Every structure is written in C-alpha cells, then in structure tokens.
Structure 1
C-alpha cells in the first residue's frame, strides 16, 4: 500500500528548455538549432518549440471579453453552436427549393445563397416564392451574399414577406453587399461606387428600423485568399475595406454602432492549420481595436465571423482527398471561433455539387459538432504558447499593413493604383514556385499522383442569364435618397431584379481596375495532366519516359521511385525494370524499349564507372536519344557525364514543373490541349 501511495505521489521531472535544446542539438548532429526555424508566407519565423516565456508579455484574455481574441461569447459554442451554413446552388428556383428542403432536414441550420454562384438568377417575386415554398424563413437564419449590391434581391425578399404577411422582424441573418470585393474579383462594378455607398447606407438605415436582426454589409477576405495572399494580407485588406465602408456610411449620417453591428466578415480557411486559427483570433482583436478607435460600443466590437473552407487548396485530380483537406480546414475554422461555416464539397473544382458531395460536406461539420464534441470546449486553442504567440504576430503584421493602406488613401485608392494586386501576386508567385518545385506538396497532384484513378465525371449546369428573363416591364426610377423604400415599392408592383439593377446602372459612371487573379494551387500540374491525357487520346499513349535502373533493386529503388513520382505528377507513363547488371545489358534493354527519353537510376558509386560508358554507347547507337541521370552530382562529375553525352540531371532541387514542360515540348505534346 505504501508503494502505491508513493507511486501516486510521484511525478515526472519538469523538463527545462536548456535540456530540450541539448537533446535537439544532439539529434541535429552538429547543425545549428536555427535549422529548425521555418519561415511562413507571412514572413513570420516559426520556432520548433514555444514555452511560457513566449507569452509573458501577452495580456491575459478571457472568452467573451474585449478584445474578443478568445471569442465573442463567454461560453463559446456551449449554448449556441456555429451555424451549419452550406451554400446551395441549383439549375432553377424549383430545384433549389428541393435541395434546400432536403438539406435542412438533414442537419443544415442556416440557409445560404451566393448569388454569383447560385446557378440561376433570382429575378422576380415568383422566383422567391418558388424557392422558399414550404420553408419557413422565420425558423432559420439566412445568409445571402448579394455581391456588389443587395438592393434588388433584398427588395424581392421584403415584397415576399409582405405578400406572405410575415413579420419583418422575424427575418434574421445576413443579406449583404460588398462592392469592393466584387471590384477586386471582376475589375469593374455595375454602377458608380458612390451610388453603391448611397445604397449601402440607405439599406443599413432602413434595416435598422424594419429588419432589426439582419446584417446588411459583408466584408470578404476570399478574393485575396483565392488570389494567393497570405493571412496578414487577407486581414489587412479586409479591415481596410471595412473601415472604408464605415467612413462612407458615417458621411451619410449613420453612427459607428449602426454600421458595425450590421457588418459580417467572411474568410476562407486554408491549409496552414495553426495559421488559420491565429488568423481568425487576430481578426476579432483587430476589429475590436478598430471599432474602439471609432468610439464604438463593446457590442459593436463583437465580430460576426463566417468561414468557408478554401477553394484555393482543392484539386481536380484525386478529388476525394479534398474531403480530408476540407475536414482539417473546417476544424481550424471552429477552433478559431467562426460563427458560421460552409464546407466546400469535394468536387467543387470540377462540377456543381450533387447530393453525395453536399452530404459529405455537411456531415463534416456535423461530425465535428456531434461526434468530436468540438463545441464542448470553450476556445480549445486558448493558452497554447504557440497559437497565442502566432495570434499576436499575425495581428501586429496585419495592423502594420492596414496602416500602410490607410496612409495611401484607403482601400479603393490602393486597388486603383494596383498596390493590392501587386502585393497579392508577390505571394502568389512564391506559392506557385514552391508548388512547381514540389517544396509545397499537393497529395494526388504533384506528389503521389494516381494515373489509374478514373476521373470524376462533370455535369453541365444550365445558367439563366438576366438578359433571358422577360416579365412585365416596370419603369423603375430612383429619386432622392430612399433607395430601399423605392425598390421595395417597385418589387411589390412586379418589377424584376433586372428592372431595379438597370435603374441603378444609370446612376453614375462605374470604376475599373485590374482584377485579382483567382486561381487554385494545383492548376499548374493539372494543366500538364490534361495535356498528357489529350496527347494519349490522339496518339494512343501518354508521354513516356524509360528508366535505366542499375544493379539490384535496393541499389536503384529510392531514385527510381523518386523519378516515377516526379514524372507521374505530369501525367507521364514511366516504364520501369528490375535493374541491369552490366552496361551491355543496360544498352541492349534501353535500345530495345524504343523510347526517346531515359533516366538512369542507381547509386552515386555505380554512376562513376557506368554512366560515361553507357551514355557513349547509347548516343552512338541513337544520337537523338535524350539521357538523364537521377540525383545531383558533384560539379566535376556532372561535367564528365555531360561530356560523355548526358543531357541533364533530375533531383530533389529540380523544378519539377519546368522539367516536365521541357520534356513535353521535346515529345511534341501540346500544352494547350490542342494539336501540336
């Protein structure tokens, strides 16, 4: 018994940082500890270990208290879980109704529409009636992303509520506009920015009286994220946008609280798990600080934060891996404290979602909520030395960039000057280069490509253009400043969204800028895969490389596997063998294969005596043959090999994408998918 008590009272000694440092240096075998420090795309230095002293200067924070780093509610998700807010698209209002009814019955808790991605146009009161037939908008919050201007669609909704004799104060959620986001993506706006700010202020003022539970302004970080921006840039550009909206509304007679409390933020969540958690936590702190500076109340300082898993990180090839990517991103969004979340369907980059992909996306959230019990822990990242330090670093750097934008004249000014586009493109180019070099790994695309996997079939999505809609023409004209009341009045008289938007378009000259390129990280290699597939369809075979493996399997396997993965990332067929035991056998086997491009794989030791003779014999037999060596060699050895006829060397430091492009051009593969 005494032994048991002794055991119970025993504890492990608390390790000291110096002791860890000594053990780490032993493992590094003489290399400096700085080798373990990494640099993020935000240019932040990430240490291998964080300790209590790292957060000694960070003020103690509590959930539900300013600056809301740890969340806007003291009990986190305990009383109110995040909203399962899956965006729904369809081919028609009727189909949308069927999908929404089905998904709501299976766990979706917020009705979510993105007009630019809806698949059809909401143009009339009849469309709204069809869409929400049998769906009680009083029972669910709504999130409607209207793009540059919400006036026409909001007017149709109000007309619908009047017709159904529903109380407007029962409508809750967000029906918001974000003109600068639309400008950043499209490069132009449907009417003047001044007019859109007039509408924004009037809609917000009208909603304060008529729609007390509806937010009317959305600030998106997605245009920057999906352009390749880092977390610091996303936050800085988003808050510069928000501050411009506040200032423009203040000029038009609103108070800071009236604007801030009707503003919702939306961020995409990428692959850097801890960075994305820190981004959302830093966002709440920055917003609190901004509203405080405007003299806003504590309530106005509480950020409404929607998140969506990233489109930027999703792939066309091996698309089922997207389920895993989305799961990790959703986890980060919830740990970061999002109020609502959209998980992108795994086939988002390929086709419109079907019932299966919607269900998997929706259930990803439900598993986190119901089975992983993430909502049972208030701010699970709180107190982590790493996350708390990273949150402070992200907020500080984002604040510096935000101040730089303000000093330049604000968000519209820096978009017009191209500053934002240039800053985003710098990071985008670095990301693209790292993908091409395979420093940034995309499983199933530039690493571990599976050429045998059948592709996910595409489905066509018919889109109804506004120009194709014909109803009773109503002559809509706006006079004075009562934009919202006028739009509602005309909607009740059967005006279409087209009529209202056409009237808005005449209100003043628009603005035009260079749009931010919206792309996905996997696109460079996806283009190569498609080119290889087109080549196969036309010629009967994929572009092909042959391996000349030297010696027994253990001697060549590592490099043969590396070369196989390297070329399969571009859709190449790789012809292998079990290893040649002599030069004569290697020459005979290579010539019998009848290929055009060969890579020698073996050990550095086997190369010394074998490669020069092998290259000489093969080039003598076929001068057009291309011959490469797997692995980087010393400069003098490389020079000897080149003189013998070797055309190049492929190794971990090679630019995979550029190498594959060069091979394809030599093989006559059309990189645009057309006949070369």
Structure 2
C-alpha cells in the first residue's frame, strides 16, 4: 500500500511543444512535419495538435453558457432542465395515415411534431384535412415545427381556423410555422410571386403572431439548400445570415422592431460528416448571430439564436444504406454537442424512398440513445474549453463574418443570387468535393471504398416520382374576397377569416399569385456525394441484367501471395466501387504462365499486380507476349512507377497504370465505355 501511495504522489514532467515535435519528427522518419497539417473545404488549416496558446486570445472561452456572445449556449443550464427536441420529420400518403404515424411516434419518444410541407406526401388543402391530421393530438403538450415553404400563409390560416373550431387558445401553441422564400428561391430558382409580397406577408404574420401566438416563430432561415449543393460550413452560415438580415430589413421597413423580428426567426442547419467542423459551425452560428442582432440594436435576449439541425441528406448513400445509421449517429452526436435546440435524424433509407416504421424508429432511437444512454444532456457545453474546438469555432466565425460582409457589400443575398455570386461560390466547393470523391481522397464507406457487390438493394417506390393529387375547384368569389383583404395589407387576418368560412389553401394561394412579379435565379443544384459512383453501380447492374454478367477486369497476379496481395486488394476495391467485378488469379512465377492463364480468362481488360521488384523483368515479357496473342485487349499495371520504368513498360505494350493517385471514377468510366456498358440508361 505504501508503494501505491507513493505512486499517487509522483508527477511526470510536462513535455514542451518543442520536445513533442521532436519526437513526432522521429516517428515520421524523414518526412516533413508539415505533412501532418491538412486543409479543409473552408480553407482552414488543421494542425496536428492544439495547445493553450491557441486559445489565449479568445475572449469567449472565459464566458459561461447563457451569457452574451452565447458561443457556449443560449441557456445557462444547457440541456439539463430541457433537452433538445426530438423533432423527426414525418410524411405519409394521407392526413389520416399521418395522424396515426404521429400518434405512434409521439408515444415512443418523439417530442416535437415536424412537418415539411413540400415532402409531406399529400396536400393540405382544407380545414377537413387539418382536422384529420390533428385529431386526438394534444397540441398543448407538444411543440410544432412546420417548414411551410410557399404555403406558409395558407397553412397558418387553416391551422388557426382549426384551433378556433377546437376552441383552443392560440397562445397555447408553441414551436415554428415558418416561411423562407429566399431559401426556396436558392433551391428551386423560382418564386411564383414577388419577394415584396412575401415580405408583406412575413411582416404581417410576425406582427400577428406576436400578439396572438407569442410562442410560435414564423420565419425560418434554412442553410440546407447551400449544404446540399456542396457548400462548406462557412458558406452555409454566411448565406443563411445574409438571408436573415434581408428578412430583418424587410420587416423593419414594415414597422416591426428588431427584437420582434429576431425573436420570430428560427435557423435550420444541416450537420455533415466532418465531426469537429460541424460542432464548431453550430457554436460559431451563435456568436455571429449575436453580433448581427447587436449591430441592429437588439437586446441580449434577442441575440439568442433559435437553431434546428438535421443530419445531412448530402452524405447519405443508396448502396450499403445501413451504414447511413452510423453516419446519422455521428452527425446527431455533433449536433447535440454543438447545442442544437431541436434535431431531425435522417432515416437510413432517406436517399432511397419514404421512411417506413423501422427506419423512423432507428432514427428516433438514435436521438434517444444519445439522450438516455450516452447522457449527452448531463453536461453543459461538453466541447467548451477544447483547444481544438474553440480555435476552430473562432476561425469559422471569423471567416463567416468576412463572407457575410462580402455579400452585404454586393447588395445582399438576393442581389448575390441574381448575379450568380452565391451559386459560383457553392459550385467551386462542390467541384472540389466531386473531384475528391472521384479520386477517393474523400472516402464514402460502402460506395467508393469497401463496396459490397453482393448486397441486396432495398426496394422502394421512386422517391423522385411526382404524384398527382386531386384538387378541389377554386371558388372565384372566395379568391376575390381574399384579394380585397390582401390589397389592404390584412394578410393573415383575411386568410384566417376566409379559412373559417371554408376557403381552401388553393384559393388563398391563388389570391397571392395575383401578383405577377415573380423572380427567377439560377438554382443551386441539390445532390449527394455518392451520386457519381451510384450511377456507375447502376449501369453495371443494368449490364448484368441484360448480359448475364457484370463488366469484369481480370487480374494477372505475380509471385507469392505476399508479393501481390496488397495491390490486388487495392485494384479489387478500386473497381468494385463502380460495380465492376474483379476476376482474381493465382500467383504466376513466369511470364509464360501469366500469359497462358490470362488468355484462358478470355477477358478484355487485364491488370498486372505484384511488387516493384517482380515487375522489372516480368512486366515487359508479359506485355510483349500478351499483346502478340491478344492485340485488342487492354493491359494495365497496378502501382505508380518511375517515369523511365513506365516508358519501358509502355513500349512493351502496357496501356496504362492504376495507382492511389488515379481518378477512380474516370478510370472506371473509361473501362466501361470500352466494355460496351451503357452509362446513360
């Protein structure tokens, strides 16, 4: 026992940064220390280690959660008294089905009712639809989040009419029923009515909500259209904040005070796969927003950001989709560490089709495990004080502020969209992402790395198919009455008055669309990282169905297993990423054996795999004999060789080299075209 006590009292000298660096350089064995640095899509340099010195100039580190600046959270108690809202988006094929699903999921841990009208699965047209949707649901017990898009006014009017019929006080409702016209414009490239009309509605609804639904926010600012276009974290934040400032100015011009506008805004951000970057993004968002509202003269309370998060659609895959569960779990972890107020976790089959009960349950339980088993909510700002996270937070905030000011200098977000500045900025990063995926510098497990060609795909209805819904006939008299009220700038009161009298959403929207001054911009293309390789996999599968076999490359392995295995495994993974089968061989010890075995395979594309030492004599011999016997076949060598060696091999008949620096996607496309695989079906 005395020895243990003595050990407890012993201390070890703390190494200096210089001593640590010296040891690291030894382990690098001659490679430069700078090799440990990396650069993100945000053009932020990531160091291999962070120390106290990195955060000495950061004033917010000494702040406590719940105090201005709000980097460490808008609430002093974090999640301890009130956890984030489990806000899973729910869709269905009818109001009745939606009602049953919502009741089912609320009974199993969901804490916020979440609707995105454009993805709801059915139109909300009438008061009857509203009654069917919310039948037997206690709206005073659960918050409501409705991303209403262009239907914000009509949905809110029908919802208010439903509450009046139920004799439920408006003030009992809490949550968000919001519109985001600029987000819609960026995503689709079009608005069917003018931004001026949208702002008129926005300001009128905000005033009405302040007096009638004080616990409901009516403006949503979405970062997802930029994230799903390939934007980096800084761009997503900067474009979102520029949008919010546009809404603030529009509402201030229409008679609202800054505190009234700021309190009506909820932000929604996607959370991607770069774990620490996403944590820093959400923390930086609080700091930047506080500075913006403060610049408008807003109070400390108004400076607190309301922030919803959703795990990224951009990172999800169609192939090996169960890996999406792990992606969503890591992204949800980042969102909760970052301090989101509410969270939607992507069902693992999101990229394939509508969620079913199983995928909804897994997504919902991902949140519940973080809350109930991982106890994330028990620590206030768990990332606070981390040298790395705090430094990254400050860097993201600084770059966000700089880009935000650049947009403001161009006349604001709408002008920047009309001029194509925003689209060009996003496309620049998107191109980098696409290139890195195609070169496999950015790894997607189960897609461009570790693909499993034997997996059985999940079959669902085509997500992109448009479903036609029957619409009721528009009553022109109702439309005329609505237009008369709208001309007097009584938007929400008129819409509610007419909804109580059974006016439909179609009629409310028809009255709005009387304004012909629509706006168009180039849309930001929405895509997913895995799409390029998924297209190759699909082409290979169609080829299999038509011809009974996948497009195939044949290996010519040289020497014993240890001699060729590393490169054979690399080539196998390389081509399977595109759905191409790889026919393996035993190790050949002579050029004659190799050529004889290759000719028996009766293929069109061959790749020699072995060590650099074994290549020296065997590759030229194999290439000459092989090309004489099969001049139309293609012959490649696995691995990068010195320029003079490559030239020698080419002169012997080798067609090319495949190595870690090769563009995997372009290589497979070239092979498939030569094999007669149709890539455009």
1:109 to 94, 108, 111: 111
CA distance in 2, matches of 1:13, 1:20: 12
2:493 to 485, 495, 506: 485
Question: What root-mean-square deviation, in Å, do the aligned CA atoms of Structure 1 and Structure 2 show?
Answer: 1.1
Which stretch shows the higher mean deviation, 142-151 or 315-324? 142-151
Residue 465 of structure 1, CA deviation: 4.7
Cα shift readout 1:572-610 (whole Å, capped 9, x = no counterpart): 011001211211111111111100000000011111111
Cα shift readout 1:535-561 (whole Å, capped 9, x = no counterpart): 111111110000000011110000000
Structure 1 unpaired stretches of 5+: none
Q: Secondary structure at the match of 1:468?
A: coil
1:353 is matched with 355
1:37 is matched with 37
2:664 is matched with 656
Matched, 1:384 2:392: no
1:240 to 239, 242, 252: 242
CA distance in 2, matches of 1:614, 1:154: 74
Could you tell me whether the CA contact under 8 Å between 2:317 and 2:530 is conserved in 1? yes
Residue 4 of structure 1, CA deviation: 3.6
2:678 is matched with 670
Could you tell me whether the CA contact under 8 Å between 2:554 and 2:607 is conserved in 1? yes
CA distance in 2, matches of 1:580, 1:607: 12
Matched positions, count: 673
CA distance in 2, matches of 1:309, 1:545: 37
Structure 1's 465 and 250: CA in aligned 2 closer, same or farther, altered over 3 A? farther
Structure 1's 467 and 275: CA in aligned 2 closer, same or farther, altered over 3 A? same
Could you tell me whether the CA contact under 8 Å between 2:607 and 2:636 is conserved in 1? yes
Structure 1's 65 and 315: CA in aligned 2 closer, same or farther, altered over 3 A? same
1:218 is matched with 220
Q: Secondary structure at the match of 1:506?
A: coil
CA distance in 1, matches of 2:145, 2:315: 24
1:591 is matched with 599
Normalised TM-score (structure 2): 0.98
Matched, 1:227 2:235: no
Q: Secondary structure at the match of 2:340?
A: coil
2:27 is matched with 27
CA distance in 2, matches of 1:148, 1:16: 58
Matches within 5 A, 1:67-82: 67-82=69-84
Residue 292 of structure 1, CA deviation: 0.4
Could you tell me whether the CA contact under 8 Å between 2:202 and 2:219 is conserved in 1? yes
Q: Secondary structure at the match of 1:303?
A: coil
Residue 614 of structure 1, CA deviation: 0.7
Matched, 1:299 2:301: yes
1:629 is matched with 637
Matched, 1:15 2:23: no
Residue 470 of structure 1, CA deviation: 4.1
CA distance in 2, matches of 1:161, 1:111: 16
Could you tell me whether the CA contact under 8 Å between 2:438 and 2:663 is conserved in 1? yes
2:541 is matched with 533
Structure 1's 283 and 376: CA in aligned 2 closer, same or farther, altered over 3 A? same
Residue 31 of structure 1, CA deviation: 2.3
Normalised TM-score (structure 1): 0.98
CA distance in 2, matches of 1:434, 1:197: 40
CA distance in 2, matches of 1:427, 1:399: 18
Could you tell me whether the CA contact under 8 Å between 1:121 and 1:464 is conserved in 2? no
Matched, 1:542 2:550: yes
Q: Secondary structure at the match of 2:144?
A: strand
Q: Secondary structure at the match of 1:489?
A: helix
Which stretch shows the higher mean deviation, 2-11 or 155-164? 2-11
1:437 is matched with 439
2:336 is matched with 334
Matched, 1:55 2:88: no
Q: Secondary structure at the match of 1:71?
A: coil
CA distance in 1, matches of 2:373, 2:139: 28
Structure 1's 463 and 122: CA in aligned 2 closer, same or farther, altered over 3 A? farther
Q: Secondary structure at the match of 2:190?
A: coil
Could you tell me whether the CA contact under 8 Å between 1:64 and 1:70 is conserved in 2? yes
Q: Secondary structure at the match of 2:191?
A: coil
Residue 13 of structure 1, CA deviation: 2.4
Could you tell me whether the CA contact under 8 Å between 1:149 and 1:178 is conserved in 2? no
Q: Secondary structure at the match of 2:636?
A: strand
1:370 is matched with 372
CA distance in 2, matches of 1:459, 1:32: 52
2:265 is matched with 263
Matched, 1:571 2:573: no
Residue 434 of structure 1, CA deviation: 0.1
1:202 to 201, 204, 218: 204
Q: Secondary structure at the match of 1:531?
A: helix
Q: Secondary structure at the match of 1:570?
A: coil
Structure 2 unpaired stretches of 5+: none
Q: Secondary structure at the match of 1:598?
A: strand
Could you tell me whether the CA contact under 8 Å between 2:186 and 2:225 is conserved in 1? yes
Could you tell me whether the CA contact under 8 Å between 1:120 and 1:465 is conserved in 2? no
Cα shift readout 1:366-409 (whole Å, capped 9, x = no counterpart): 00000000000000000000000000000000100000000100
Could you tell me whether the CA contact under 8 Å between 2:289 and 2:305 is conserved in 1? yes
Q: Secondary structure at the match of 2:449?
A: coil
CA distance in 1, matches of 2:65, 2:651: 68
Cα shift readout 1:49-81 (whole Å, capped 9, x = no counterpart): 000010000112210001000000011000000
Cα shift readout 1:62-115 (whole Å, capped 9, x = no counterpart): 100010000000110000000000000011111101110100000000000001
2:280 is matched with 278
Q: Secondary structure at the match of 1:545?
A: strand
1:398 to 397, 400, 406: 400
CA distance in 1, matches of 2:444, 2:274: 13
Which stretch shows the higher mean deviation, 3-12 or 496-505? 3-12
Could you tell me whether the CA contact under 8 Å between 2:352 and 2:462 is conserved in 1? no
Residue 459 of structure 1, CA deviation: 2.8
CA distance in 1, matches of 2:14, 2:376: 29
CA distance in 2, matches of 1:389, 1:163: 53
CA distance in 2, matches of 1:466, 1:250: 39
